[in-house]
């Protein structure tokens, strides 16, 4: 079963309380700059501390399976072809063909023009996520960003991964960023009243400071994003543990303030099982166990999946297998 994406929270009374905040550039700016700061040294120390948790035996088996179900298996290359994404889609359905107990991943993440090809393979068994809004830079006119989004939704995308305008954010034009997210969220609407799940990519590697990450997180949540996502994968650094820590604190605090739960997706640079488990520990201890499902936490990754599979096989058989025992795509 793919994660559910129908949680419609746009009309939550909790969010309505923040209508004043987003009413003008001044009020939004005042609100975002009034959020408590993030001490860089302290945040990084806390992330490192959580990274020392030792997850063994049964806990590790649980964590590896959970991590597999949270993977957004991704390919976002100029050289992507229908053949390539179909192969990836098959892998998403059956990550380990040798082991039927292995769960499938959460979604396949591709460019918008590849959505139909993926959908043809996975049907309703795995979600299809499409990057949109002139990914990865977001440097295009609003019409193009919205058309990009509508195309992907029309092609059957279950989830849209949009990028924010980092230039506008860094220039302090918060309301512009807010309004763009609101508009893209509207473009995610389907005729039947449901909407494609919206993930807002903040490109934290370009925002650079944790204060910015916290502000961008709140901005994205207030604008109606269903998920906040670290990175496109095209900018270094991509996802890091401290950035994800700040985002997890933001979704935790946001739910407390509004009653609305928002998901988190670190993407890019998570390659090892050990790293994936560190993220899960962080989700568990910072946001809480409510976020420990593919509905609320995802990994944007490609090579991570095989690593998880190798560790999973090692746990069940007691032996490490070579890379040739796992499929390439």
Partner 1 sequence: MAFEYAPAPESRSIVDIKPSYGLFIDGEFVDGHGSAFKSINPATEETLAEIAEADAADVDKAVKAARRAFRTWSRMPGKERSKYLYRIARIIQERSRELAVLESIDNGKPIKESRDVDVPIVAAHFFYYAGWADKLEYAGLGANPQPLGVAGQVIPWNFPLLMLAWKVAPALACGNTVVLKPAETTPLTALLFAEICQQADLPAGVVNIVTGAGDTGQAVVSHPDVDKVAFTGSTGVGKAIARAIAGSDKKATLELGGKAANIVFDDAAIDQAVEGIVGGIFFNQGHVCCAGSRLLVQESVADEVMAKLKRRMGTLRVGDPLDKNTDIGAINSAEQLARIRALAEIGEDEGAERWAPPCELPSAGFWFPPTVFTGVSQAHRIARDEVFGPVLSVLTFRTPSEAIEKANNTPYGLSAGVWTEKGSRILHMANELRAGVVWANTFNKFDPASPFGGYKESGYGREGGRQGLSAYLKAGA
Residues with active-site annotation: 161, 229, 265
| Residue with Cβ nearer partner 1 (37 or 97) | 37
* 292 contributes a contact to partner 1 by CB under 8 A: yes
Which range binds partner 1 by CB under 8 A, 32-40, 95-103, 227-235, 306-314?
A: 32-40
Whether the Cβ atoms of residue 211 and residue 174 lie closer than 8 Å to each other: no
| Binding characters for partner 1, 135-174, by CB under 8 A (x = yes) | ----------------------------------------
| Residue with Cβ nearer partner 1 (157 or 286) | 286
Nearest Cα to 4, choosing from 91, 69, 59? Answer: 69
Question: Minimum Å distance from CB 198 to partner 1?
Answer: 26
Residue 253 makes CB contacts below 8 A (sequence gap 6+) with: none
Question: Minimum Å distance from CB 265 to partner 1?
Answer: 18
Considering only 10, 285, 315, 327, the residue that binds partner 1 (CB under 8 A) is: 285
Dihedral (Cα; 32, 33, 35, 41), 10-degree rounding? 120
Considering only 22, 232, 273, 284, the residue that binds partner 1 (CB under 8 A) is: 284
| Binding characters for partner 1, 33-62, by CB under 8 A (x = yes) | ---xxxx-xxx-xx-----xxxxxxxxx-x
Residue 9 makes CB contacts below 8 A (sequence gap 6+) with: 15, 224, 226, 260, 261
Residue 170 makes CB contacts below 8 A (sequence gap 6+) with: 206, 207, 212
Helix 40-50, helix 273-282: angle, nearest 10: 110
The β-bridge partners of 200 are: 162, 228
**Contact residues for partner 1 (CB under 8 A)?**
36-39, 41-43, 45-46, 52-60, 62-63, 66, 249, 280-281, 284-285, 289, 292
């Amino acid at each position: 079963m793919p994660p559910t994406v129908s949680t419609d929270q746009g009309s939550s009374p909790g969010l309505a309380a923040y209508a004043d905040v987003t009413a003008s550039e001044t009020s939004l700016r005042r609100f975002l700059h009034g959020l408590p700061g993030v001490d860089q040294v302290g945040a990084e120390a806390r992330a490192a501390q959580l990274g020392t948790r030792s997850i063994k035996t049964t806990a590790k088996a649980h964590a590896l399976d959970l991590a597999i179900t949270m993977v957004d298996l991704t390919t976002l290359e100029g050289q992507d072809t229908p053949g390539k994404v179909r192969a990836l889609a098959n892998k998403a359905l059956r990550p380990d063909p040798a082991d039927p107990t292995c769960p499938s991943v959460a979604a396949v993440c591709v460019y918008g023009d590849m959505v139909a090809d993926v959908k043809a393979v996975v049907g309703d068994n795995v979600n299809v996520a499409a990057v949109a809004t002139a990914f990865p830079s977001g440097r295009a006119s609003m019409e193009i960003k919205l058309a990009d989004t509508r195309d992907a939704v029309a092609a059957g995308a279950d989830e849209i991964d949009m990028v924010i305008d980092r230039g506008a954010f860094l220039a302090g034009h918060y309301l512009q960023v807010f309004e763009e997210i609101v508009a893209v969220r509207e473009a995610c609407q389907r005729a039947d009243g449901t909407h494609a799940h919206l993930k807002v990519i903040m490109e934290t590697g370009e925002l650079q400071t944790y204060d910015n990450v916290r502000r961008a997180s709140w901005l994205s949540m207030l604008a109606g994003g269903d998920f906040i996502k670290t990175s496109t994968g095209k900018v270094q650094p991509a996802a890091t543990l401290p950035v994800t820590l700040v985002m997890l604190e933001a979704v935790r605090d946001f739910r407390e303030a509004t009653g609305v739960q928002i998901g988190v997706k670190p993407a890019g640079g998570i390659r090892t099982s050990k790293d994936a488990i560190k993220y899960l520990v962080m989700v568990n201890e910072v946001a809480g166990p409510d976020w420990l499902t593919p509905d609320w936490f995802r990994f944007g990754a490609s090579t991570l999946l095989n690593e998880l599979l190798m560790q999973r096989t090692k746990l069940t058989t007691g032996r490490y297998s070579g890379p040739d025992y796992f499929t390439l795509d």
